[in-house]
Amino acid sequence: MTATTDGSAGAVPPRAASASDTDSTTPVAAGVHDAAARATRRATDFLLSRQDAAGWWKGDLETNVTMDAEDLLLRQFLGILDESTAHAAGLFVRGEQREDGTWASFYGGPGDLSTTIEGYVALRLAGDEPDAPHMAKASAWIREQGGVAASRVFTRIWLALFGWWKWEDLPELPPELIYFPKWMPLNIYDFGCWARQTIVPLTIVSAKRPVRPAPFALDELHQDANNPNPPKPFAPAASWDGAFQRLDRALHQARKVIPRRLRKAAMNSAARWIIERQENDGCWGGIQPPAVYSVIALYLLGYDLQHPVLREGLASLDRFAVWREDGARMIEACQSPVWDTCLATIALVDAGLPVDHPQLVKAADWMLGEEIVRPGDWAVRRPQLPPGGWAFEFHNDNYPDIDDTAEVALALRRVKHHDPERVDKAIGRAVRWNLGMQSKNGAWGAFDVDNTSPFPNRLPFCDFGEVIDPPSADVTAHVVEMLAVEGLSHDPRTRRGIEWLLAEQEPDGSWFGRWGVNYIYGTGSVVPALTAAGIPGSHPAIRRAVAWLEKVQNDDGGWGEDLRSYKYVKEWSGRGASTASQTAWALMALLAAGERDSKAVERGIEWLAATQREDGSWDEPYFTGTGFPWDFSINYHLYRQVFPLTALGRYVHGEPFAVTSVGKGG
């Protein structure tokens, strides 16, 4: 993909996409309401046609080429990389390279050094020669940016596996961390679940320091091949960075004197921790990176590739592959069927589909079957809390998340199910679990309670994105909305969540979006939640949000926000080319605020209707999902369908689906 915007901090953010950027030029001729109703019907038909026979929906989850590069590097490390896999991955990676030779971490973004290094190595594994024009352009850019020495730790770990980087020049990560009690700083439960699942296996890799024969040299990626990693000065000792740099130096010295029996015992304990968390489908947490590192760690401890744990782990990784029509192979970082299914259910009901429609009932059946009813890592901080919730993926019983649980409850409550008692009980368990996962400040994080330690992000090792899971406005909003629908608006715990949300509003009237891009997502999540909980549209916080959304609306009538708003807030907040999902989020907030007849809503609805394709779908190359703010971005391919349908349905049919029309349980 070719960049469409300048990556510099001083670049002027785009205000809108021109009409020529859309796939449809069908005029809105019959009035806004008629156009919205027609678009709603077409989008409903499209979404219904995409449901799996088992009842779920799942769109592709697109990230960046590091997933594909690391899949190839894993297979090379294990000695199982075959020519056809390398060729298919090379097709995809090559197709994502930009004209300047770089790879970005999101569509239209600036070239990213670590992503470009890994993309380059992937193409070398696929057979591309370093003197090929596209490869020479990439390596020249890498050297200009500081070479491998300037890349993130994770990239250099992958290179160290083949001797392209020295292990002693990487931060130390001792496996003895597994013994830290939960009250001790930097114990593994101080890390967010995604980081925890990655760090535990990497402690084994760090202790073993394996090196496989390199299939080729990578001297062209260093500024100075004779001195690839010149020493860097330490930060002042009185600073946190300086303190942790010196701690890392001490750990390097300590590895020479740690008793071998202690180290071996620690690695074996870490291995047991890993194996205990392998899911029934062979994966770990339904996420590709922890699975990759877990396979390497266990392999280094002597588990052969035919051992059931590794055999099933490798098989699970194959299920992350998405094959394109041209033979290219893209690797998903994870898969989102529960999230996609509950959002699709909400969209279809709010768009007017009968609540007892067979496909909605089938979706509800599937979601009910995905409920997690056993404890996971969250129980370390909440040992007395009974389980009950949903995860994001097909198989992830160790890590249900608060966001999915809230949205699944909202979706189930919309469907007239043939077993209302079963629905009531499942939602009751979800409400109890979500309330039990409330953090002490009154808000909710995604996976854990009070996962807010300041120390993990300070580690030299942790330069790959967010590694803790503090409460966020979007997750808290979804929980508050769910509690309001369940009749708990006046519960003291709900009121604490509302108070936290009101206090977190930005001075300009928006809310920060942790798991979606960004202030438009946060605002589009919070305003409907507040109004559902009884906050009137005349409340000052709602009026400030409305004013901000009107201010950042694009000239074409849509809304968009670039991921650079995470890094350059002032210039990019609420600014970017219009997208279907972000336009829908803005409309959902405005409609909830009582702005149905406003000019801003009318223009937004017109934009959605005009940009809809003939088959009822929308195109959206831009990334509007967030893994780690700025560092890891996601294009959820179903976002462009479910959220526009939700917004259009609410415009056509009025307020979101009223629970009282079905009753609590059908």
Angle, alpha carbons 636-638-642 (nearest 5°) = 125
- The whole-model pTM stands at 0.91
Chain-centroid distance of CA 365 in Å reads 26
Statement to judge: residues 647 and 526 lie in one domain: yes
For residue 507, give the DSSP letter: T
Residue 90 sits in a domain of what CATH number?
Answer: 1.50.10.20
**Strand (E) or helix (H) holding 504:** helix 492-504
Q: Max alpha carbon distance in the chain (Å)?
A: 79
In angstroms, the CA 385 to CA 522 distance is 29
Average pLDDT over every residue of 196-222:
95
Residue 394 or 505, more confident = 505
> Residue 309 burial (CB < 10 Å; 0-12/13-18/19+)?
middle
Radius of gyration of the chain (CA): 25
Statement to judge: residues 612 and 645 lie in one domain: yes
Statement to judge: residues 103 and 114 lie in one domain: yes
Percent of the chain scored above 90 by pLDDT? 82
Statement to judge: residues 315 and 446 lie in one domain: no
Q: Is residue 2 part of a domain?
A: no
Number of domains making up the chain: 2
Statement to judge: residues 45 and 79 lie in one domain: no
Chain-centroid distance of CA 628 in Å reads 7
> For residue 462, is pLDDT > 60?
yes
Statement to judge: residues 66 and 52 lie in one domain: no
User: Mean pLDDT over all residues of the chain?
Assistant: 91
Q: Is residue 108 part of a domain?
A: yes
Range 17-21, long-range pairs (CB < 8 A, 24+ positions): 17/554, 17/556, 17/558, 17/560, 17/577, 17/578, 18/556, 19/556, 21/577
Structure-token pair, residue 473: 């406005």
Q: What is the band of 461 on the pLDDT scale with cuts at 50, 70, 90?
A: confident
| Number of helical (H) and strand (E) elements in the chain, helices listed first | 23, 5
Provide the pLDDT for residue 256: 84
Which of 331, 364, 395 is at the close of a domain? Answer: 331
> For residue 244, is pLDDT > 90?
no
Which of 331, 347, 369 is at the close of a domain? Answer: 331
Which of 267, 298, 331 is at the close of a domain? Answer: 331
Structure-token pair, residue 73: 């590097």
Q: Is residue 496 part of a domain?
A: yes
Provide the pLDDT for residue 289: 87
In angstroms, the CA 597 to CA 644 distance is 18
Contacts of 632 (CB under 8 A, 6+ apart): 63, 64, 105, 333, 464, 465, 626
> For residue 253, is pLDDT > 90?
no
Q: Is residue 19 part of a domain?
A: no
- Count CA atoms within 13 Å of residue 414 on its CB side: 29
Provide the pLDDT for residue 332: 95
Among 235-244, 563-572, 653-662, which is the least confidently predicted range? 653-662
**Polymer length in residues for the chain:** 666
Provide the pLDDT for residue 13: 55
> For residue 641, is pLDDT > 70?
yes
DSSP bridge pairs for 330: 322
What single string gives the DSSP state of each residue in 285-337?
TTBHHHHHHHHHHHHHTT--TTSHHHHHHHHHHHTTEEE-TTS-EEE-SB--H
Q: Is residue 17 part of a domain?
A: no
Statement to judge: residues 412 and 512 lie in one domain: yes
* Catalytic residue numbers, as ranges: 403
> For residue 22, is pLDDT > 60?
no
Q: Residue 159: which domain range? A: 62-217+237-331
Q: Is residue 429 part of a domain?
A: yes
Of 285, 256, 510, nearest to 397 by C-alpha is: 285
Question: Sheet holding 625-628: strands in order across?
Answer: 61-62, 632-636, 625-628
Provide the pLDDT for residue 497: 98
Statement to judge: residues 365 and 354 lie in one domain: yes
Statement to judge: residues 129 and 152 lie in one domain: yes
Q: What is the band of 190 on the pLDDT scale with cuts at 50, 70, 90?
A: very high
pLDDT per residue as tens digits for the range 471-530: 999 999 999 999 999 999 999 999 999 999 999 999 999 999 999 999 999 999 999 999
Statement to judge: residues 643 and 524 lie in one domain: yes
For residue 61, give the DSSP letter: E
Statement to judge: residues 41 and 177 lie in one domain: no
In angstroms, the CA 498 to CA 323 distance is 44
Q: Is residue 230 part of a domain?
A: no
Statement to judge: residues 161 and 197 lie in one domain: yes
Of 388, 348, 349, 395, nearest to 371 by C-alpha is: 388
Provide the pLDDT for residue 235: 74
Q: Is residue 22 part of a domain?
A: no
In angstroms, the CA 650 to CA 36 distance is 10
> For residue 21, is pLDDT > 60?
no
Residue 555 or 8, more confident = 555
pLDDT per residue as tens digits for the range 75-89: 999 999 999 999 999
